[in-house]
Amino acid sequence: MTPWEIKGRELVNCNCNFGCPCQFGILPNRGNCEAAIVYQIDTGHYGDVKLDGLRAAAVYHWPKAIHEGNGQMQLIVDPAATDAQRSAIEAIMTGKDTQEMATMWFVYSAMSPTKHETLVAPIDVEMDIDGRVGRATVDGVFDIDLKPVPNIVSGEPHRVLIKLPNGFEYAEAEMASGKTTIKGGAVQFDPLEDTHGHFAHLHLTGNGVVREAATAS
């Protein structure tokens, strides 16, 4: 297998309730799963191909729970990536050179028999993980806005973190409230608003999450 490693951050919005039922082994509360995600790669490599500073994104749709399969996915890579870098990102984010079930990318890909052609489009992202505020635009594909989960009584920011000691995506994530509008691309779904969002620091290899370096500050 080609060795790889990525350290970075992610901004996620899906169609379920705050906290995401998947994290608790519960079926999706709306019956299906839809998500848009942006990744900021701070440092990384795939073999000899460096991935430092690149951005990627993805849109997913599953008709039921993720583990029931029959999903579809589309990756997007920023035009700053070279052909070799784009191929490396595609390999990592479709689960190649990864131990079975070791990363979310392996799982998402395995559960998505329909893989649409990777798009190349500008990706703009801002993340204030401590403040639980962020936004992302993938030109012509989608917009995401995240804000803190509101307290149900006062409306003030309500901080919630999820820790996954044995997870395949992150060790710790900050929960948020998300809004997504799909503008184009092959994977379509209705606008999301006030649904689950999260921010996380990522440190992943083909063997899974690197625990000692993945916890959010």
Asked if residues 128 and 121 have their Cβ atoms less than 8 Å apart, the reply is no
**Of the candidates 178, 167, 175, the residue with the CA atom closest to the CA atom of residue 203:** 167
How many CB atoms lie under 10 A from the CB of residue 7? 18
pTM confidence score = 0.94
**pLDDT at residue number 214:** 42
Q: How far apart are CA 201 and CA 137, in angstroms?
A: 19
DSSP-derived 3-state class of residue 213? helix
pLDDT band at 49 (very low <50, low <70, confident <90, very high): very high
DSSP-derived 3-state class of residue 67? helix
Q: How far apart are CA 148 and CA 36, in angstroms?
A: 18
> What letter would DSSP give residue 108?
H
DSSP-derived 3-state class of residue 177? strand
Q: How far apart are CA 107 and CA 67, in angstroms?
A: 8
Q: Indicate the number of domains in the chain.
A: 1
pLDDT band at 187 (very low <50, low <70, confident <90, very high): very high
Task: State mean pLDDT over 104-128.
Answer: 98
Range of the domain at 64: 4-213
What are the CA-CA distances from residue 58 to residues 24, 158, 162 (Å)?
A: 23, 28, 22
